[in-house]
Structure 1
Amino acid sequence: MHRFLLTPRWWGINVFVVLAVPFCLFMGTWQLGRFEDRVGSHREATAQRPADRNAAPLDSLLPVDTQTSGRLASASGVYAEQLLVPDRELDGKPGFYVLTLLRTEGGKAVPVVRGWLPGTPDPARAPAPPTGPVQVSGVLQAPENSSTKGVHAQGGLPAGQLGVIGAASLVNLVPYGLYDAWLTVPTASDGMTPVPAKAPTNTGLDLKAFQNLGYTGEWFVFSAFVLFMWFRLYRREVETLRDAEAGLLPQDPAQPCAGPVGAEATASAPHPAR
């Protein structure tokens, strides 16, 4: 064992390596687990759901999370205000959603996207909702976020239009309580196209999922780089010791000269007066 490994300098290097390598491996494994979770959620979201599955009551599926998002929910009540949601594409075509608030028997309202229409938002083209008590079954969706969905905020939109579907954007438009979720009906009527359900945020094989996979590789590369640099420093230290033992290192000019020249110089130097 080389004694230089016990010097304070190498103690610091060794402690850094002992801490850095497990940390990099842990972070790489964690990022890999995040990617595997997204793969699993993507498979669940794209799996064929049973056609005869019964809808669960809306209240039993709240709050919306990755487990309840995409589930079939049911609510009963009366349709109230109707709004249009602009700038929504479907199959690459621009259009808008027809959203109607369903006031449930408990007094709170849930936004229901009844369908999609092509073109610019026009209240005259939006079919009127059914009157009287209705029972609605739709796919449960989490509230949208303007920063992640890339849609308009509420400010600047004409009256009767909504930029982001969620309680936060509706709270100033209606005088009653709201569910922080929304439904999209699987079968639209009156010439509208049904809106497909969207995967919940931070799930599925999106760009962020592949970022997790890229971070996994980076952390494993970092751990290998730390080991490589330790081995390189160790090897250079060993080679320096071998060169020093073989007398191959250049002599320090500050050191006094040894040999005959040094002896002659000592002899010829004047002696101090006594």
Structure 2
Amino acid sequence: MHRFLLTPRWWGINVFVALGVPFCLFMGTWQLGRFEDRVDSHREATAERPADRAAAPLASLLPVDKKTSGQPAAVSGEYAEQLLVPERTLDGKPGFYVLTLLRTDSGKAVPVVRGWLPGNADPAAAPAAPAGRVDVTGALQPPENSRTKGVHSEGGLPAGQLGVIGAASLVNIVPYDLYDAWLTVRTPADGMLPVPPQAPNDTGLDLKAFQNLGYTGEWFVFAAFVLFMWFRLYRREIETLRDAEAGLLPAEETPTAASAATAEAAPRRA
């Protein structure tokens, strides 16, 4: 009855199942691991950092990664150009960032978000940066991505405004080299509110994270579907052979079923 499993057709089916099911399970497990990694990264990124943690020199924390993002960094220099970053919310209220470029002793500049103000971006409302040499301590942040931030391009903004904070968006605005990072000060002055550190890129429970979880379910469903189809083909083959033995098949019966039925009946006739 089960000799049909040794036919070339069923050899191909069995090999496909033997390879397909482990592959689907492996891919599902891998996607689940990706989701768990994002959950762990999100938990670490949102964990409160000690407020009294000593600040490290800015250069020692670069390039920004998941470990150094949000770390307190210290840098000295002189403030230069000031820009406004519109459409930034804080505690659910619309407002804008006051960003000033700090030219450091190395000759490079680092964007410093000195604080947040409510309302529309208005240069008259933004307090001027301190003159002379200053020591700045702030939370280190990675450069923003226009796609993930969902903001419009720089070309659609008025002069003196910036849509995305990063060296890529500033390179055509300022005439000197830039660090590919930015700082947000802990204690703003002049009535501005502090901007909390943002979670590093690819660490939040965003759409990508839940896509990984969805792919996990899809791969496990694929594995179950392969097994279901194998079992269905197997049951159909068994039923076909039984009908062939009972003489219930029409004359145009399938060659596979007929040959399998003949092979089954030959030993009994012998």
Per the TM superposition, whether the score is higher than 0.5 is: yes
Partner in structure 1 of residue 43 of structure 2: 43
Q: How does 1:240-255 map to 2 (within 5 A)?
A: 240-252=240-252
Q: Counterparts of 2:13 and 2:199 in 1: how far apart (Å)?
A: 47
Pair 1:190-2:190 in alignment: yes
Aligned to 1:172: 172
In the TM superposition, what are the counterparts of 1:256-267 in structure 2 within 5 Å?
A: none
Q: Aligned partners of 1:105 and 1:180: how far apart in 2?
A: 16
CA distance in 1, matches of 2:251, 2:147: 66
State the AA in 2 paired with 1:49. R
User: Is the contact between residue 45 and residue 200 of structure 2 (CA under 8 Å) also seen in structure 1?
Assistant: no
Q: Output the CA distance in 1 between the equivalents of 2:119 and 2:83.
A: 16
CA–CA separation in structure 1 for the residues paired with 2:85 and 2:189: 18
Distance in 1 (alpha carbons) for counterparts of 2:11 and 2:144: 53
Which 4+ stretches in 1 moved above 3 angstroms?
Answer: none
Structure 2: where are the runs of 5+ without partners? 254-270
* Residue 165 (structure 1) shift: 0.6
Q: CA deviation at 1:116?
A: 0.7
1:207 to partner: Cα distance:
2.5
Match in the other structure for 1:266: none
Provide the residue aligned with 1:262 in structure 2.
Answer: none
Distance 2:87 2:120 in 1: 8
CA 1:252–1:77: 2 relative to 1, 3 Å: closer
Of the two, which has the highest radius of gyration?
A: 1
Q: CA deviation at 1:238?
A: 1.2
Aligned counterparts, 1:47-86, within 5 A: 47-86=47-86
Match of 1:88 in 2: 88
Structure 1 stretch displaced more, 239-248 or 109-118: 239-248
Give the residue type in structure 1 aligned to 2:110: V
Identical-pair percentage? 82
Letter of the structure 2 residue corresponding to residue 183 of structure 1: L
**TM-score, normalisation: structure 1:** 0.88
Question: What does the per-residue CA deviation read over 1:94-147, in whole Å, with 9 as the maximum and x for residues that have no partner?
Answer: 111100001111000000001111111111111111111111111111111111
Deviations 1:26-57 (A, max 9, x none): 11111111111111112112222222211111
- AA at the equivalent of 2:140: L
TM-score by length of 2: 0.90
User: Which residue number corresponds to residue 15 of structure 1?
Assistant: 15
CA RMSD of aligned residues (A): 1.5
For structure 1, the residue ranges without an aligned partner over 5 or more in a row are: 254-274
Task: Report how far residue 8 of structure 1 moved.
Answer: 2.1
In structure 2, the residue matched to 1:239 is 239
The alignment partner of 1:81 has SS state of strand
Conserved 8 A contact 2:57-2:74: yes
